[in-house]
A and B are shown apart, each in its own frame.
Chain A
Amino acid sequence: MGNTETVLIVGAGPGGMEAARAVADLGKRAILVEAKGEIGGTPYSSYATLTPDLQETEEAMGHIVRGIHQNPAIDLRLNTRVVKSEGEVGAFHVTLESEDSTQTVVEVGSIIVATGFQHFDPGRETQMYGYYEYDDVITLVDAERMFKSGAIVRPSNGEAPERVAFIQCVGSRDRQIGNQYCSKVCCGIASKQSIEIKRMLPNAKVFIFYIDMRMYGFWEDQIYWKAQEEYKVNYVRGIVTEVIRKGDKLLIKGEDTTMGRPMEVLMDMVILSVGMEPSKGVDSHVIEPLEALLFSCCRAAPGRQIFFRGIRPPRLSFARRCAVVVSKDGDHGRR
């Protein structure tokens, strides 16, 4: 009964788009389901520019998005969610529900879950970074929003910051929070943003406080070295412990571990390098019928989510995550 020629892909971010394209390239049919009214996922909707070339997002990703829309083998369902799925590998009956509550059942042979991530909410941080206390403490995502608007300013007073600090690993690599993994992109993104800030505000002093800078080979000289060598971004080994207001500035306290002493410095703006957590989509009922297959790799234990990397060298260096392929013969490959 099953339709092994059709693959259902849940989530149309970079992961889902790439999966759909690959399915189409293999001569099969893809049903690409996206909860939102737009495809492209988190980067397409939230980021101004992308690594490694600091290209505008539209420029870097536009052709991929258009490619999906134009591909006849991809049946795109926007504003649609999966509400139920039954069956087994090779023969799934999946109920989709669109915005107007219309339900349709599709027959597919395999399902790819590519529901992506959400940004870590810094209100949960065990360090005290004051994101919910001070306007001038922002996240990488807020910063992207500013870059999109074309100016980087202190939200509290609209003035250009003279001193900006990035704090790495916010919400990642932390047993107390329960996220024991490295989010893999934030070191590169902070470095990218530091370059952008220096381009916009050449006189600003930019600091990056880190445990270790992780570029995973993609972004070493293109971004990290460049920021440090060309743009004189200050990389300080040691993470900030707390951020607290002093007058109209932010006082950051941490240890400069290279020097081995506690340090306290005033900043105009602090950017929290928030990590990623699996999006709620991963938990939805898409998963339930597949639990036995997926649980072992995807949600083995809270805080131990697995990151999946592209099979081929990615055209965009996205760290694809939580995209699990359940193929018809039951051997579940991973993307």
Chain B
Amino acid sequence: MPSNLYKEVALEEKQRLFDEVKADPRFETYLYGCYECGICVAACPSARFYDFSPRKITQTLAREDVELFYEQLNDDIWNCSQCFSCNRCPRQNSPGGLITVMREVAVNNGLRSMKEALAGYTRIIYKIMTTGTQVSPDMLQEDAFPDWGPQVKKVSENLDVWRRALPPETLHTTGLSWQVEERTMHELYAIWKMTGTLDMISLVDEGLHDIMEEIMDDALEESGLQVD
């Protein structure tokens, strides 16, 4: 359907992005066709709170409607909770999986809407990519989670001792979820490099990418791991 939104973006560009989604090897098992039965919608948490519909995503991709696709690529996909409740589709589609693929394309193309959706999230990317654990105990800070109540403050005030009061030896950490060996982290860096994941970050946040690249390159050199 012709779209009134994103008129400034050329149809060829929309088509190019669509083709990128379609070229993902998972695409053909994530999308068959769509009955418009709505089974996915009633299972979908995001459909209850946003103007969002996994049915519309699937239907749009099935129709290869690049105009609508481009709208959804910008305005809808970040609403998805990636819970995969929609996987019970009778046509065996995975609307959530299609959204994963669309998001990857949004990242790989540095879309502005993607950057907006991930604003405030980049510190998490830094944590997971450099340490191998996503959330560390020291992230539990009152200013970051004001809505979680006073108990967050208690945790942050007592963090060090409370971590020491944990019987498993691996959990005495505050900046990591558990103790991760240095070698393990270096292997992870090698994986990010070899799979192009680190490069993806430059499209999300150039500065973050540069910092991480420096950390990883130094570490990899030290560890002697070959990445190419």
Nearest-neighbor residue (CB-CB) of A176 within chain B: B92
Collect the chain B residues with CB atoms within 8 Å of residue A240's CB.
Answer: 39, 42
- Shortest distance in angstroms between A281's beta carbon and chain B's nearest beta carbon? 27
B48 contacts partner chain A, Cβ-Cβ < 8 Å: yes
Once the chains bind, are A241 and B35 in contact (CB under 8 Å)? Answer: no
Number of A residues near B (Cβ < 8 Å) is 24
- What is the total of A-B residue contacts with beta carbons within 8 Å? 69
Nearest-neighbor residue (CB-CB) of A175 within chain B: B92
Partner of A262, one of B36, B37, B48: B48
A150 contacts partner chain B, Cβ-Cβ < 8 Å: no
Once the chains bind, are B90 and A169 in contact (CB under 8 Å)? Answer: yes
A313 contacts partner chain B, Cβ-Cβ < 8 Å: no
Collect the chain A residues with CB atoms within 8 Å of residue B53's CB.
Answer: 260
Once the chains bind, are A176 and B37 in contact (CB under 8 Å)? Answer: no
Once the chains bind, are A127 and B38 in contact (CB under 8 Å)? Answer: no
Please measure, in the bound complex, the distance between the C-alpha atom of A147 and the C-alpha atom of B147, giving whole angstroms.
Answer: 57
Within 8 A of A (CB), among B4-41: 32, 35-41
Collect the chain A residues with CB atoms within 8 Å of residue B48's CB.
Answer: 262
- Shortest distance in angstroms between B152's beta carbon and chain A's nearest beta carbon? 33
Once the chains bind, are A126 and B36 in contact (CB under 8 Å)? Answer: no
Once the chains bind, are B39 and A127 in contact (CB under 8 Å)? Answer: yes
Chain B window 127-142, contacts with chain A (Cβ cutoff 8 Å), 1 for yes, 0 for no:
0000000000000000
Once the chains bind, are A254 and B42 in contact (CB under 8 Å)? Answer: yes
Please measure, in the bound complex, the distance between the C-alpha atom of A262 and the C-alpha atom of B43, giving whole angstroms.
Answer: 9
Collect the chain A residues with CB atoms within 8 Å of residue B38's CB.
Answer: 238-239, 241, 254-257, 262
Chain A window 133-170, contacts with chain B (Cβ cutoff 8 Å), 1 for yes, 0 for no:
00000000000000000000000000000000000010
Nearest-neighbor residue (CB-CB) of B44 within chain A: A262
Please measure, in the bound complex, the distance between the C-alpha atom of A126 and the C-alpha atom of B88, giving whole angstroms.
Answer: 6
Once the chains bind, are A126 and B42 in contact (CB under 8 Å)? Answer: no
Once the chains bind, are A127 and B88 in contact (CB under 8 Å)? Answer: yes
Chain A window 244-265, contacts with chain B (Cβ cutoff 8 Å), 1 for yes, 0 for no:
0000000001111100101110
Once the chains bind, are B43 and A173 in contact (CB under 8 Å)? Answer: no
- Shortest distance in angstroms between B20's beta carbon and chain A's nearest beta carbon? 26
Collect the chain A residues with CB atoms within 8 Å of residue B90's CB.
Answer: 126-127, 169, 173-177, 239
A220 contacts partner chain B, Cβ-Cβ < 8 Å: no
Once the chains bind, are A173 and B35 in contact (CB under 8 Å)? Answer: yes
Partner of B39, one of A177, A241, A260: A241
Once the chains bind, are B41 and A262 in contact (CB under 8 Å)? Answer: yes
Once the chains bind, are B42 and A263 in contact (CB under 8 Å)? Answer: yes
- Shortest distance in angstroms between A154's beta carbon and chain B's nearest beta carbon? 24
B91 contacts partner chain A, Cβ-Cβ < 8 Å: yes
Collect the chain B residues with CB atoms within 8 Å of residue A56's CB.
Answer: none
Collect the chain B residues with CB atoms within 8 Å of residue A175's CB.
Answer: 32, 90-92
B47 contacts partner chain A, Cβ-Cβ < 8 Å: yes
Partner of A253, one of B36, B42, B92: B42
Partner of A257, one of B36, B43, B89, B91: B36
A211 contacts partner chain B, Cβ-Cβ < 8 Å: yes
- Shortest distance in angstroms between B80's beta carbon and chain A's nearest beta carbon? 15
Number of B residues near A (Cβ < 8 Å) is 20
Collect the chain B residues with CB atoms within 8 Å of residue A88's CB.
Answer: none
The answer to whether residues A262 and B47 also contact, given A240-B42, A241-B39 and a CB cut-off of 8 A, is yes
Chain A window 204-226, contacts with chain B (Cβ cutoff 8 Å), 1 for yes, 0 for no:
00000001000000000000000
Collect the chain A residues with CB atoms within 8 Å of residue B89's CB.
Answer: 176
Once the chains bind, are A239 and B88 in contact (CB under 8 Å)? Answer: no
Partner of A242, one of B32, B36, B41, B42: B42
B55 contacts partner chain A, Cβ-Cβ < 8 Å: yes
Once the chains bind, are A257 and B37 in contact (CB under 8 Å)? Answer: yes
- Shortest distance in angstroms between B173's beta carbon and chain A's nearest beta carbon? 41
- Shortest distance in angstroms between A92's beta carbon and chain B's nearest beta carbon? 41
Please measure, in the bound complex, the distance between the C-alpha atom of A242 and the C-alpha atom of B92, giving whole angstroms.
Answer: 17
Could you say which of A127, A169, A240 has the most chain B C-beta atoms within 10 Å of its C-beta? A127
Nearest-neighbor residue (CB-CB) of B32 within chain A: A175
- Shortest distance in angstroms between A244's beta carbon and chain B's nearest beta carbon? 12
Please measure, in the bound complex, the distance between the C-alpha atom of A126 and the C-alpha atom of B89, giving whole angstroms.
Answer: 8
Collect the chain B residues with CB atoms within 8 Å of residue A242's CB.
Answer: 42-43
Once the chains bind, are A211 and B36 in contact (CB under 8 Å)? Answer: yes
Please measure, in the bound complex, the distance between the C-alpha atom of A238 and the C-alpha atom of B47, giving whole angstroms.
Answer: 15
Once the chains bind, are B35 and A255 in contact (CB under 8 Å)? Answer: no
- Shortest distance in angstroms between A117's beta carbon and chain B's nearest beta carbon? 20
Once the chains bind, are B41 and A239 in contact (CB under 8 Å)? Answer: no
Within 8 A of B (CB), among A70-104: none
Once the chains bind, are A239 and B39 in contact (CB under 8 Å)? Answer: yes
- Shortest distance in angstroms between A270's beta carbon and chain B's nearest beta carbon? 15
Once the chains bind, are A254 and B55 in contact (CB under 8 Å)? Answer: no
Partner of A176, one of B40, B43, B88: B88
Once the chains bind, are A241 and B91 in contact (CB under 8 Å)? Answer: no
Nearest-neighbor residue (CB-CB) of A264 within chain B: B42
Once the chains bind, are A255 and B88 in contact (CB under 8 Å)? Answer: no
Partner of B35, one of A127, A211, A254, A264: A211
The 3 tightest CB contacts between A and B, nearest first, are A255-B38, A241-B42, A255-B41
User: Could you give 7 example pairs across A and B, Cβ below 8 Å?
Assistant: A169-B90, A176-B89, A211-B36, A239-B39, A255-B55, A257-B41, A262-B42
Additional pairs, 5, CB under 8 Å, beyond known A173-B90, A242-B42: A238-B37, A239-B35, A241-B41, A242-B43, A253-B43
